Amino acid sequence: MSWNFRIIKHIDNGTPWLAIHEVFYDKDDNPDSCTKNPVTVVGEDEKEVKWYLDKMSEALEEPIIDFQYFIDKEKEVTNEH
């Protein structure tokens, strides 16, 4: 199973907001699940923090996914950071 960071659109009380989540893909490279909560940038050293930021910035080049998509699939997962 592959994964990457993606921007996910949430709606709370009618107000939309965006956050970065880990998204996991099925064997056909379709989004299959995501972390329930947005991810944070944490690393053991500066190099690891930079790696996370670089990977997260790649999400800006991908289409935004609506969180409701994962709720409808009943596929969201919990954060494991």
pLDDT in tens, 37-55: 999 999 999 999 999 999 9
Q: Is 35 a member of any domain?
A: yes
Kindly report the number of other CB atoms within 10 A of residue 59's CB atom.
19
Q: Is 81 a member of any domain?
A: no
Q: Is 46 a member of any domain?
A: yes
Range of the domain at 36: 3-73
Q: Is 78 a member of any domain?
A: no
Strand-pairing partners, residue 77, are: 35
> Residues of 22-33 as b/e, b for ≥16 C-beta within 10 angstroms?
bbbeeeeeebbb
Q: Is 17 a member of any domain?
A: yes
State the pLDDT at residue 71: 87
Q: How confident is the model at residue 81 (pLDDT cuts 50, 70, 90)?
A: very low
Q: Are 20 and 38 in contact (CB under 8 A)?
A: yes
Q: What is the pTM of this model?
A: 0.85
C-alpha span between 69 and 67 (Å, rounded): 5
Q: Which of 63, 57, 56 lies closest to 21 in space, CA to CA?
A: 56
pLDDT at 80 over 90: no
Q: Is 44 a member of any domain?
A: yes
